[in-house]
Chains A and B, each alone.
Chain A
Amino acid sequence: MKLNFMVAPDFSPDRFAGWHMVNTLLQSRSGLHLHLLTPASAQEQSELLRRDAVDLIYANPFDAAHLIRDLGFRAFARPMGKPDEMVIATAAASPLKRLEDLRPGSRIAVTDNRDVKLIGLRLLEAADLTDKDLQWVLVETFQAGARLAIKGEVDAAFFLAEIYHTLSRITRSQLKVLIESAIFDITHVLLAHQRVLSEVPAIMAALAGIGQQAADHEVLDALGIPKGFAVMQEEEAEFMVDLMDTLLD
């Protein structure tokens, strides 16, 4: 039986090899045939889901709400010690010193990562700014957003914190963090479609075992999840979905 395993398109390009290594390990240890899908954009991800072509998904928390509540997926694991946080940064030379210095009409670079935009908008409430107060500049990648901020073509850029912290030292030296979220309760989740729930115990056993052999640490490091994965109970996922729901408006 072949299972399509999709990874949400919001990981750093550096992690691409890590996901292939994990997929290989999961296959060899679970005995299941997993086909890794790495859509390049949120649109491509949506299209795969619309075609019902996904059995397992490593989803961001924003999408997890829809996948669990509307599409019949069930959470079974989450990365340990790796909450989803976001950063709002401006050019190092910018006169902006803190979030509250942003004004209506400010230009903000964003990717199509909806979690990052949603959390960023919630943080901007403290500066009395809403979605319609800002000029959004859509960029393909967080790296492109960084370039626009450094060149002063936008006032600030939104980043997934993990990716911001993996930008090169030179790039980060030309940026200034206005705020970084510290929510802790929101993470990516591993979900299984209800039609493959019978395969979850084998996958979970293989997943939980990654890290127990010496060579596994190379894989987890490549993935940027050095502590590995933990079982996620259904109620834990529901709690996170409820939390995301409070952030929608």
Chain B
Amino acid sequence: MHLPDMQHPPLAGNACECRLTYHDGTRRLVYCVDQEEPFPDGRLIVSRTNLGGFITHANEAFIAMSGYTVEELIGAPHHILRHPEMPKAAFADLWTTIASGKKWHGYVKNLRKDGLFYWVYATVIPNVRAGVVVSYTSVRRKPSRRKINEMSDLYTKMLSQERAAQ
């Protein structure tokens, strides 16, 4: 599924502009605003995708934090939340891990529809039914500020290396 380009965020005139290329070769223009949306206290962000990574379930916290409507999310690829400051290697590791039937943990900076970002600590597990992986469940928790700072630095370095290698 090809995602339409993002609309320029109404909240900020100085949003940065970036054209992302996803793993399936599709491209999308996105806008990023350097402003964090705090993770809601006490909540879990829960979603489920099919084996192709298309969203089949989103809980209320997911919908609220993403800024999209449920209609926009269901059926959309999970990379609708991809922030340009996330290195591709992180997602490659995620897909390799869950495709092998294992649980994946990681820190992720997500992009909202309005261009703001939010950090999560994500766990993704394969949903096994009668011995067969039928879908994936992703649960996101609130990360500590120390971990966010640590991962932000790490991802900046990884991203620089990826760009240098291109």
User: Which residues of A line the B interface, CB within 8 A?
Assistant: 85, 99, 122-123, 125-128, 179-185, 235, 238-239, 242-243, 245-247, 249
Contacts and interface: CB of A to CB of B under 8 A. Distances in A.
20 contacts: A125-B121, A125-B143, A125-B144, A126-B39, A126-B142, A127-B144, A128-B144, A179-B42, A183-B44, A185-B44, A185-B46, A238-B129, A239-B137, A242-B127, A245-B103, A246-B124, A246-B125, A246-B137, A246-B139, A249-B123
Contacts of B59: 184-185
A242 B123 CA distance: 11
B41 A243 contact: no
Contacts, number: 65
Nearest to A242: B137
B8 interface: no
Interface residues of B, number: 28
A91 B123 CA distance: 33
Interface in B129-160: 129, 137-139, 141-147
Contacts of A235: 129
B125 A128 contact: no
Per DSSP, chain A at the interface is: helix
A122 B42 CA distance: 9
B141 A125 contact: yes
Given A128-B146, A246-B137, A246-B139, A184 B60 contact: yes
B101 to A, nearest CB: 13
A246 B103 contact: yes
B43 A182 contact: yes
B142 A125 contact: yes
